[in-house]
Amino acid sequence: MKKIFSVLFFIILCQTITAQSFQIKGSILSKAKQPIEFANVVLRKADSTFVNGGMTDAKGKFSMENLEKGIYNLQISSLGYQTKNLEIRDFNKDTDLGTIEIDSAAIALNEVVVTAAKVINEADRKILLPTSKQMKAATNGFDLLQQLNLRRIQIDVMRNTIAASGGGEVDLRINGVKSSIQEVMSLRPEDILRIEHHEDPGLRYEGAEAVIDYITRRRNSGGFISFDTETSPHVAFGNNSVTAKFNYKKSEFGLFYTGGYRSVDHMWRENSETFNFPDGRSLTRMEDGTPDKWSMNWNYMQMNYNYQQGKEWFFNATLRANINGNPKQNFNSYLYPTNNPSNGVYMTDRSSSWERRPSLDLYYQRNFKNQQSLILNVVGTYMDSNSKRHYKEMQDTETLTDLFSNVDGNKYSIIGEGIYEKTFKAGRLSTGIKHTQSFTDNEYTGSSVSKTDMR
């Protein structure tokens, strides 16, 4: 009971010490009174310290919230237009700048090739504002990242993976919340305000080589649904995805699914292996396969809800589920030594596996005055898996080897983390606490029987 009262007191205290915040908004138009989409809007303090930044929407509108009173410089830039700077003095209330017109550039556009994004260098990260050309050429958040050509970041478009140049892990995030590559691929370019690249992340990110954080646009109403499918009429092959989002006031609801399947009726393997013995002898054995079946499928589903109170606090709940299967992986082969092909064995190797992994991720962030924040994150995961394999070798009618294994696995885990951050002009201070608890049960049956209990 004392713990409950302590938590309630802490929440009330957080509410009390929140600084009063204000908003700046406006619309960017050309001299012809046309809205300018994807214009870069950057807000800095009088000493040039970065405060906020993003891009205009399809109507040329922008909005920046949770701002403290003071003196600011607003910079507006866009391909084909002259950069415009505005000084905002005595900022101490919500301010609507109305319509801001910017002039066309004096030089011809066909003489200029702009390929690089605008980069703002901060002490702890790089803030990238993609160009309108990059935004229009990309189909999702993954494509957009590929066009930015970030240093030490390798993108594999065939496998849909993002890795550091040294092979290390890249921590992907959306609005600060840890996210998967599937979630990044569900982002629409027009919803991305900026990308923050941490080249040297701290201990908070658990040894990740780099952090990529997508900061997205917040909409007050409306939504969208999109489909993407790749299906072959000749073979069992498919990649499918569905994305849906709906916004209502300060709430956002999201649904995402991606899945695929493969099935082959004629698959075999051919191998050669050589054994070298201490006395100098060697034996080479060949494997000649005959066609058999192989199939696999994978499914990733996600439902999420988040609520944002300006930039004062943010809550996100995400329910994820991975369901993957490899129902058939069959191999039939003839194994024989090259010096005596008739003295071979017929081998069958049949295996199957599946995995189900649901998880619930709860994330809460509270921002305070003087660039302070508190982050609380809890993730609970359950994994249920099964793997079977039957390996057999026969010579004529005699069975030489007959092995069967069946593994049933269950794992429960919960990870809790609390982080306090304070941002300075020259860097950022982070401190926190993290706890991980897991339970694993594996049961082995077949040719040998055993059970493990790790708690």
Give DSSP secondary structure letters for 63-96. EEEEEPSEEEEEEEE-TTB--EEEEEEEE-S-EE
Q: Which residues are paired to 426 by β-bridges?
A: none
Q: Is residue 9 part of a domain?
A: no
Q: What is the pLDDT along the chain (455 residues), one digit of tens a residue?
A: 444 444 444 444 444 444 567 889 999 998 878 888 888 888 888 777 788 888 888 888 998 888 888 889 898 888 777 888 888 888 888 889 899 988 876 543 444 444 456 788 777 788 888 888 888 888 889 989 988 888 888 888 777 889 888 778 899 999 988 888 888 988 988 889 899 999 888 777 877 889 999 998 888 888 889 888 888 888 888 889 899 999 998 999 999 999 999 988 888 889 999 999 999 899 999 999 999 988 999 999 999 999 998 878 999 999 999 999 999 899 999 999 999 999 999 999 999 999 999 999 999 999 998 889 999 999 999 999 999 999 999 998 899 999 999 999 999 999 999 999 888 877 788 899 999 999 999 999 988 899 888 87
Is the pTM above the cut of 0.75?
no
Q: Is residue 353 part of a domain?
A: yes
Q: Collapsing DSSP states into helix, strand and coil, what is residue 145?
A: helix
Distance (Å) of CA 402 to CA 347, 350, 393, 448: 10, 12, 7, 12
Q: Is residue 57 part of a domain?
A: no
Q: Is residue 99 part of a domain?
A: no
Q: Are strands 192-198 and 398-424 parallel, antiparallel or unpaired?
A: unpaired
Q: Is residue 292 part of a domain?
A: yes
Q: Is residue 30 part of a domain?
A: no
Please give the pLDDT value at position 334. Answer: 94
Q: How many domains does the chain have?
A: 1
Please give the pLDDT value at position 438. Answer: 94
- Buried b / exposed e over 324-358, threshold 16 CB at 10 Å, is bbbebbbbbbebbeeeeeeebbbbebbbbbebebe
What distance in Å separates the CA atoms of residue 212 and residue 171, rounded to the nearest whole number? 6
Q: Which structural domain range is residue 275 located in?
A: 218-455
Q: Is residue 140 part of a domain?
A: no
Q: Which residues touch 194 (CB under 8 Å, ≥6 apart)?
A: 53, 54, 55, 127, 128, 129, 130, 215
Please give the pLDDT value at position 18. Answer: 47
Distance (Å) of CA 241 to CA 142, 256, 401: 14, 7, 44
Please give the pLDDT value at position 106. Answer: 52
Distance (Å) of CA 143 to CA 130, 160, 221: 12, 10, 26
Please give the pLDDT value at position 256. Answer: 92
Q: Collapsing DSSP states into helix, strand and coil, what is residue 113?
A: coil
Burial of 22 per CB tally in 10 Å (0-12, 13-18, 19+): middle
Q: Is residue 8 part of a domain?
A: no
Please give the pLDDT value at position 331. Answer: 92
